[in-house]
């Protein structure tokens, strides 16, 4: 442990020209991550070395005492051993330090660049407006030091495009704000181009820890535990060997691990809306803060297991291009928009992802999708003639299209509702096997970016499926023409059709005005923005350019009381 | 081409080159012979008396028979399978269909295409055909058009790239 501080003591001479704390940097300075990060990243290696050495030394202390060795040889041996250990530690630390020294990053107006590597050098450059998500991760040890890792995701579904580990938490936040502001297409303040304020956020969902515990208890893990207990007990009784109870230990370890993982990733979960998109924070020891900018959710799935039905809980997972299809618990947690929530919270999250549901009865339609069956709210289910192909699920399997999204419902015991915004449809295939042809039904499969959500419609009536197939291609093309720009706050010069000019847009503009007033947003830039805010924008999307106003929380109104937005679904 | 019940109406399907059937038949022939030889090993062992105790006659005769039946079945099906492959270019999207028993039709909007692959294997090169594959942001998009004549493949690639560029729409 002595090496890193010692080495870092010699550092100021080297990185002085462009150190991390360089004062008033011009726009395109190169930065390094925080100098403690090699220690935080390499702590496992250091701990392992110290553990092995320490154990040897510790054991040697005892055995040496009992065997009455001569003090001198032991002293020399200790010195030699200590020297070797110190050497190894220094080499490891030096390796991390060199790697740290050669890793530099830069955020320009359009790109983020990272140079890394000593022997094999890598220069990576990612376009800011291609950002799919930004995470700030704080592993436990980094949290102790007040450090955080920044992850910048683009759509290639592999490793994070840019990982900066570690930065000071405040620096990471500032960097995220800068990246998001530039990615959003907001013109930088001409006087302080480096300073981008963090967009304000409004919390919409907070999950109490008790519910996270309850959700873990009511999960498949518990079922597995009960089944395992029953099997082990039965075996023990039948074979009359209580020793078999020891086989419980590995099961118990696995179960505790699963519970811990559920608790650690679901604890203190908070979702918020901000002009930069949806924000999520969660974590017990390791904390994570995710930002998914508007329009980055490719597909969304609402699931309910049989046990959760007792409490009326749902889980919401999403496909985001940058998150990929990781099966690790971390990857699953990242793709979870709501680990456990009630119906109202699910609708709230849906309203964030899909501000314009494209139907005058959103609450009824989504509720029918989550829990209903048969043709209520326009769902096209499996025709009666094909009921023997899916004797349980045929009344539930179905789909319905709104003006902005397609809803696919399936599952009787494990209920699922998949929502795909029309403009996010990648490609679509229709499939039919010989048996299905006999019953005149077809399967529809949507292709989307990798992730936990698999949007498909099974056993739909062939004629209806073809209608959807052709209609979907046209709807997707239309929705893409209407959808917001990649840089979500870039003003669009009059590209929006009259259909978007509904009552809700006026509301948005009005709230933007009041919000700006409240925030003391004055001056000439504010004035020009107000003009822009008058142009009809996508519902609940903030007015272009205005990033630091408190966002209005979009919410689906039930149909009978929904007098504010009667024009919406026409 | 034969209209299958799953076909959408009012579409002009372009068929793949007849040479592709020959390539597939050649591949089928080679594959079938190899499998048949492998499956006949127990039978040969038994008939030559080298090892007459191990494989019971049911397996010795049954294995090559099953392989033969499967091979013949696949061979009979091949012309229909190849004939079922089709693609149609529309204004906004490309449709690809395939399959005889398990039919599949896929629509890929031009604006969703990330890149286009044209691949040529040695056998395909000898017959002057190529395989074209479309990639979107989803790895599950399996839009494959095999057996295109080389010049048609080049034309289609250029056409798709041009249309994709004109309609490009992020993700």
**Category of A115 on φ-ψ map: left (φ > 0), alpha (ψ -120 to 50) or beta:** beta
- Say what the pLDDT of residue A158 is: 65
Chain A's closest residue to B4, CA to CA, is A437
B161 and B89 share one domain: yes
Residues B68 and B114 placed together within one structural domain of the fold? no
Beta bridge partners, B166, equal none
Same domain? B101 vs B135 = yes
How many Cβ pairs closer than 8 A exist between chain A and B?
A: 88
A540 min Cα distance to partner chain B (Å): 21
What confidence tens digit (pLDDT) does each residue in B13-44 have?
A: 888 999 999 999 999 999 999 999 999 888 88
Q: Give the torsion sign (CA, A373, A374, A377, A378).
A: positive
Torsion region of A536: left, alpha or beta (phi above 0 gives left; psi -120 to 50 gives alpha)? beta
Q: What is the predicted pLDDT for the residue at B9?
A: 62
Q: Which residue of chain A comes nearest to B96, CA vs CA?
A: A429
Is beta strand A111-116 parallel, antiparallel or unpaired with respect to A122-127?
antiparallel
pLDDT of residue A188: 66
Angle value at C-alpha B43, between B39 and B46, nearest 5 degrees: 150
Respond yes or no on whether the N-terminal peptide bond of residue B162 is cis (omega within 30° of 0).
no
In a domain, B5, yes or no: no
Below-70 pLDDT ranges, chain A: 1-27, 57, 60-75, 157-158, 187-195, 242-245, 490-546, 560-570
Residue of A nearest to B113 (CA): A426
3 state DSSP class of A107: strand
Is residue B76 located within the same domain as residue B100?
no
**Amino acid B45: pLDDT:** 83
- Say whether residue A466 is in contact with chain B using an 8 A CB cutoff: yes
With an 8 Å Cβ cutoff, are A426 and B136 in contact? yes
Q: Is residue B64 part of a domain?
A: yes
Question: Last residue of some domain: B58, B82, B106?
Answer: B82
Indicate the residue among B45, B65, B82 that finishes a domain: B82
Closest chain A residue to B140, measured at CA: A447
Task: Flag whether pLDDT at B5 surpasses 70.
Answer: no
- Determine whether the interchain pair A429/B93 forms a contact, defined as Cβ–Cβ distance below 8 Å: no
HEC profile of A68-102 = CCCHHHHHHHHHHHHHHHHHHHHHHHHHHHHHHHH
CB contact under 8 A, A477 and B170: no
**DSSP assignment string, A179-248:** HHHHHHTPPPPSS-TT--PPPP-EEEEE--HHHHHHHHHTSHHHHHHHHHHHHHHHHHHHHT-GGGGGGH
B8 occurs within a structural domain: no
Are the beta carbons of B6 and A442 separated by less than 8 Å? yes
Between the alpha carbon of residue A522 and those of residues A114, A194, A514, B8, the distances in Å are: 37, 20, 12, 58
| CATH code of the domain in which B120 resides | 2.30.29.30
Give B127-155 pLDDT, tens digit per residue. 999 999 988 888 888 889 999 999 999 99
Out of A321, A424, A427, the one facing B107 most closely (by C-beta) is: A427
Distance CA A171, CA A358 (A): 40
Extended beta strands in A448-503, E state = 456-461
CA torsion through residues A270, A271, A273, A274, sign? positive
Domain boundary among B46, B66, B82: B82
| pLDDT of res. B3 | 47
The predicted complex's ipTM stands at 0.84
Same domain (yes/no): B158, B91: yes
Same domain for B136 and B67? Answer: no
Q: Which residues of A, range 475-534, sit inside 8 Å of B by Cβ?
A: 476-477, 480, 483, 486
Domain that residue B38 falls in: 17-82
- B21 and B75 in a common domain: yes
Nearest-Cα distance to chain A for B18, in Å, is 25
Residues B106, B73 within the same domain: no
Q: Could you report how far apart the first and last alpha carbons of chain A are, in Å?
A: 68
Spell out which residues of chain A touch residue B136, defining contact as CB-CB under 8 Å.
426-427, 447
Domains of chain B: total? 2
Which positions in chain A touch B6 (Cβ < 8 Å)? 430, 432, 437, 442, 462
The CA-CA-CA angle for residues A160, A176, A319, to 5°, reads 45
> Which of A427, A437, A469 lies closest to B138 in CB terms?
A427
Domain spans in chain A, listed from the N-terminal domain onward:
1-102, 210-265, 297-482, 503-570
Backbone φ and ψ of A552, nearest 5°: -80, 140
Q: Is B162 exposed, middle or buried (0-12, 13-18, 19+ CB in 10 A)?
A: exposed
pLDDT at residue B7 tops 60:
no
Asked if A381 contacts A316 with a C-beta cutoff of 8 angstroms, the reply is: no
Can you name the residues that pair with A319 across neighbouring β-strands? A299
- Contact assignment for B170 to A450 by CB distance below 8 Å: no
- Closest approach of A520 to chain B, Cα-based (Å): 36
What length is written for chain A?
570
Count of helices and strands (H, E) across chain A: 17, 21
**A114, A33 Cβ separation under 8 angstroms:** no
The reply to whether B139 and B128 lie within a common domain is: yes
Residue A23: the pLDDT is 41
SS (HEC) of A398-451: EEEECCCEEEEEECCCCEEEEEEEHHHCCEEEEEECHHHHHCCEEEEEEECCCC
Residue A272: predicted pLDDT: 92
Q: Do A448 and B138 lie within an 8 Å CB cutoff?
A: yes
Q: Cα(A473)–Cα(A479) distance, rounded to whole angstroms?
A: 10
Can you tell me the distance from the alpha carbon of B140 to that of A128, in angstroms, rounded to the nearest whole number?
Answer: 26
Among the listed residues B8, B152, B150, B147, the one whose alpha carbon sits nearest the alpha carbon of residue B83 = B147
Distance from CA of B142 to the nearest CA of A (A): 9
A429 touches chain B (CB under 8 A): yes
Query: A307 and A443 in contact (C-beta within 8 Å)?
Result: no
Quick one: CA dihedral A231, A234, A238, A242, positive or negative?
positive
The DSSP element (H or E) to which B36 belongs, if any, is helix B18-48
Residues from B contacting A (CB-CB < 8 Å) are 5-6, 8, 92-93, 101-109, 111-112, 136-141, 143, 169-171
Query: Does residue B142 form part of some domain?
Result: yes
- Nearest CA distance, A481 vs chain B (angstrom): 9
**Residue B3, in any domain of the structure:** no
> Chain A contacts of B112, Cβ < 8 Å?
425-427
Mark whether B90 and B150 lie in a shared domain.
yes
Within its chain, how far is the Cα of A126 from the centroid?
19
Same domain, B61 and B22: yes
The angle at the Cα of A297, spanning A354 to A283, to the nearest 5 degrees, equals: 105
Bridge partners (DSSP) listed for residue B105 = A430, B97
Go through chain B and tell me how many residues it has.
171
Answer whether A537's CB lies under 8 Å from A543's CB: yes
Whether residues B98 and B116 fall in one domain: yes
Is the CB of residue A137 less than 8 Å from the CB of residue A148?
Answer: yes
Name which of A447, A454, A465, A472 to mutate to probe chain B: the one with the most chain B Cβ atoms within 10 A of its Cβ: A447
């Amino acid at each position: 442990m002595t090496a890193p501080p010692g080495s870092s003591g010699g550092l100021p001479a080297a990185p002085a020209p462009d150190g991390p704390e360089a004062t008033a940097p011009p726009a395109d300075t190169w930065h390094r991550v925080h100098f403690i990060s090699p220690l935080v990243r390499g702590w496992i290696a250091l701990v392992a070395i110290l553990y092995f050495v320490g154990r040897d030394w510790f054991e040697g202390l005892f055995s040496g005492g009992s065997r009455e060795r001569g003090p001198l040889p032991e002293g020399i041996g200790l010195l030699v051993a200590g020297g070797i250990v110190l050497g190894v530690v220094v080499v490891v630390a030096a390796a991390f330090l060199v790697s740290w020294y050669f890793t530099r990053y830069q955020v320009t107006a359009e790109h983020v660049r990272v140079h890394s590597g000593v022997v094999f050098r890598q220069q990576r450059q990612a376009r800011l407006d291609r950002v799919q998500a930004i995470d700030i991760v704080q592993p436990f040890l980094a949290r102790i030091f007040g450090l955080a890792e920044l992850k910048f995701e683009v759509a290639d579904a592999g490793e994070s495009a840019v990982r900066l580990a570690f930065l000071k938490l405040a620096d990471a936040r500032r960097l995220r704000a800068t990246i998001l502001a530039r990615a959003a297409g907001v013109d930088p303040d001409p006087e302080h181009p480096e300073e981008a304020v963090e967009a304000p956020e409004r919390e919409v969902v907070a999950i109490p820890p008790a519910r996270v515990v309850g959700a873990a208890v009511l999960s498949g893990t518990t079922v597995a535990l009960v089944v395992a207990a029953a099997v082990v007990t039965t075996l023990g009784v039948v074979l009359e060997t209580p020793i078999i109870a020891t086989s419980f230990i590995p099961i118990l370890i696995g179960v505790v691990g699963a519970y811990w993982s559920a608790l650690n990733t679901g604890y203190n979960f908070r979702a918020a809306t901000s002009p930069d998109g949806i924000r999520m924070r969660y974590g017990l020891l390791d904390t994570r803060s995710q930002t998914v900018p508007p329009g980055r959710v490719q597909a969304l799935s609402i699931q309910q297991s049989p046990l959760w039905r007792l409490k009326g809980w749902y889980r919401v997972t999403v496909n985001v291009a940058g998150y990929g299809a990781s099966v690790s618990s971390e990857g699953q947690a990242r793709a979870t928009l709501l680990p456990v929530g009630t119906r109202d919270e699910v609708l709230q999250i849906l309203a964030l992802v899909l501000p314009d549901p494209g139907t005058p009865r959103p609450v009824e339609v989504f509720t029918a999708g989550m829990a209903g069956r048969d043709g209520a709210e326009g769902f096209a289910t499996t025709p009666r003639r094909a009921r023997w192909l899916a004797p349980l699920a045929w009344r539930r399997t179905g789909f319905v299209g709104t003006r902005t999204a397609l809803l696919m419902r399936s599952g009787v015991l494990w209920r699922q509702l998949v929502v795909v915004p029309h403009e996010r449809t990648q490609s679509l295939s229709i499939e039919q096997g010989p048996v299905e042809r006999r019953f005149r039904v077809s399967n529809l499969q949507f292709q989307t970016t990798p992730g936990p959500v698999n949007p498909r419609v099974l056993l739909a009536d062939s004629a209806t499926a073809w209608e959807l197939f052709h209609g979907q291609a046209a709807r997707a093309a239309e929705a893409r023409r209407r959808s917001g720009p990649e840089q979500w706050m870039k003003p669009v010069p009059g590209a929006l059709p009259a259909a978007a000019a509904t009552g809700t847009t006026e509301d948005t503009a009005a709230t933007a005005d009041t919000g700006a007033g409240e925030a003391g947003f004055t001056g000439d830039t504010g004035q020009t923005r107000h003009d822009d805010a008058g142009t009809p924008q996508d519902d609940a999307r903030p007015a272009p350019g205005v990033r630091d106003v408190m966002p209005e929380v979009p919410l689906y109104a039930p149909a009978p009381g929904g007098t504010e937005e009667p024009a919406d679904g026409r | 081409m034969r209209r299958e019940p799953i076909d959408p109406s009012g579409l002009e399907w372009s068929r793949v080159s007849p040479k592709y059937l020959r390539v597939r038949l050649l591949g089928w022939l080679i594959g079938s012979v190899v499998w048949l030889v492998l499956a006949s090993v127990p039978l040969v062992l038994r008939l030559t008396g080298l090892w007459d105790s191990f494989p019971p006659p049911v397996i010795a005769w049954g294995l090559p028979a099953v392989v033969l039946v499967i091979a013949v079945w696949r061979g009979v099906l091949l012309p229909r399978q190849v004939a079922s492959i089709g693609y149609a270019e529309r204004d906004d999207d490309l449709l690809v269909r395939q399959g005889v028993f398990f039919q599949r039709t896929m629509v890929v909007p031009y604006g969703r295409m990330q890149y286009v692959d044209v691949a040529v294997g040695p056998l395909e090169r000898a017959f002057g055909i190529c395989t074209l594959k479309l990639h979107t942001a989803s790895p599950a998009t399996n839009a494959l058009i095999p057996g295109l004549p080389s010049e048609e493949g080049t034309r289609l690639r250029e056409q798709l790239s041009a249309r994709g560029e004109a309609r490009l729409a992020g993700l």
